[in-house]
Chains A and B, each alone.
Chain A
Amino acid sequence: MNERATTILLRGRKVVGGRAEGEALVTRERISGWGGIDPRTGTIIETRHELRGCSFAGRVLVFPGAKGSSGWSNQFHLARLSGAAPAAMLFTEMSTKVALGAVVTRAPAMTDFDQDPFALIATGDWVRVDADRGVVEVIKRA
């Protein structure tokens, strides 16, 4: 490994079990499901969202939580069936929308971290999520 690469460990609570890894996509803005994403591609479509036009498909999505319509879970459910789900979901604010959405996305998901994920994870970092053990490993992009 490149000696300049830094690895950071976070611990948190399992929401949905499993292990996955991928490039991080980080936003401090909450995400709308229905009317906020295109589930066929995993792209954020909300008009004023900072990630508008970005896709979370196959990436580790780091976000505060869910907002908006109760169609949240269904949209992420559709994203899974379209092959456009995130590889894993890390979030800080628990809600019924995000919990149910994570469950039906069936991707590893975690919350309740011991450190601030927004301070430690940036878009483009490589992130390994082991939700069963409650560990997130962040390999900072050099």
Chain B
Amino acid sequence: MRLTDAERAMLEGAEGPAVARAMDLLVRYGEALGAERLVETNNVCGTIGATTPFMRDFAARHGGLDAVFSEFNLDSPEVVKVPRARTFTCHLQQGMDPDHAAAMGLGTEMVQLFRRGEAFAAALGVELANTCTPYQVGNLPRRGEHCAWMESSAVVFCNSVLGARTNTEGRESTGAAMLTGRIPYWGLHIPENRRGTHLVEVEAEPADVADWGLFGYYVGEVVQDRIPVIVGVGAPPDLARLKHFGAAASTSGGIELYHIVGVTPEAPTREAAFGGARPAATLRYGRAERRLAYERVNATARRREIQFVMLGCPHYSLEQLREVCRLLAGRRVHPDVELWIFAPRAIRALAVREGIAKIIEDAGGRLMSDTCSAMSRAIPPGTRAAAFDSVKQAHYLPAIMGIEGWFGTTADCIEAAVRGRFEGDLR
């Protein structure tokens, strides 16, 4: 890989051992990819927290948060002192919500550890957005901007909806990017690689957020990590629909970029989206495909009695929280059910001021932030079956926690939370 003089100096230690380790990792990673060079970036979204059980133990055993950063953010076998971030860096979701630690089964020592981690990150100049949706709380890179983001649902949003450029980075590469302002120039950083590959013709127009999730789950499974170009969706999707579509498509497959003709910025026309090339394949999304996606995402569900409803994957917007309030109006969560709703902490703060949080709490639910059940591996004790309005969470959480999971609309999930029984179905 070709390095600039400045990059070579970093590799040789001119800016200290941590930056040298970061550059060493970027070189090994770039060569593994077959990249020819690095590109400058000033927008990194990563994670440096140590709040998952393994990380907590690692920090305790190996000498604190510099040791965690050295191993898990730089892949460095030696512990290096971590300097301030060179780039704008935004923290993604964490392993716990410090304000609901007891509900998540965590004691005060875990909260102290979380706070130490936050102080460590803040001292490095990292913005503590603590969300899988940085684009909902002000991190909006311009079109064409080179970014280094992890979190697959954020990556697909960044590329597809914002038209910025990022590959799906990992914890180690974002750690290295944060200290060097560089990331391999490969994949979706290169304009030719952003052209569509598969044409998706929609016959069953997605009608709500849940439908967009099912659509994404189907397209992801078929297209895998290629680039779908979608035509015929009907009404242009809003933020929540685009967010759930991308999250689902990056769960069942590896979609990092999609184009919706007439909606997303790199697809003013079908021809533009394909860059003049012909599609490698054409797929159709009709009622049978929608049904198949529903059955696949509900593969683990058997028992209608549920003990847990989790909403906010990806983290909810204020508008989605308002919808929950409307659905909960005059009702109470069933005494045998826990309702957890996750949003970015900035949005939760607004929800508190607008009285939304109180409505949810008065109905017996919890408005939480910073994490989700899959990230924290936290579910209410005694949960055997749960309901989700997120394809992504319904896909992952049953596998991670060994529970059954139902997927339905937000209304189905609130109904389940109130009745203790999931009665949703594909309608």
Contact = CB atoms under 8 A, between A and B. Distances in A.
Given A96-B167, A97-B168, A74 B29 contact: no
Interface of A: 13, 15-16, 30, 34-36, 39, 45-48, 65-74, 77-78, 81, 93-97, 99-104, 109
A100 B299 contact: no
B221 to A, nearest CB: 10
Contacts of B71: 77, 81
Contacts of A39: 54
B396 A96 contact: no
A71 B254 contact: no
Specify which of B25, B33, B149, B400 lies most central, judged by the most chain A CB atoms within 10 Å of its CB. B33
Interface of B: 25, 28-29, 32-34, 54, 58, 71-72, 75, 149-152, 155, 167-173, 184, 186-187, 224-225, 250-254, 296, 299-300, 374, 395-396, 398-400
Contacts of A102: 32
Contact of A70 (B33, B150, B396): B150
Q: Which of B72, B184, B186, B254 has the most CB of A within 10 A?
A: B254
A45 B173 CA distance: 25
A34 B28 CA distance: 22
Contacts of B396: 34-35, 69
B254 A100 contact: no
B254 A30 contact: yes
Nearest to A93: B225
Contacts of B250: 68-69
Given A30-B254, A68-B251, A103-B28, A74 B169 contact: no
B54 A72 contact: no
Contact of B170 (A30, A48, A96, A109): A96
A100 B173 contact: yes
B296 A48 contact: yes
The CB with the most chain B CB atoms within 10 A, among A46, A93, A100, is that of A100
Contacts of A74: 72, 170-172
A96 B169 contact: yes
A69 B300 contact: no
Nearest to A67: B254
A47 B32 contact: no
B275 to A, nearest CB: 21
Given A30-B225, A68-B152, A100-B169, 7 more contacts: A69-B151, A69-B251, A74-B170, A99-B29, A102-B32, A103-B29, A104-B75
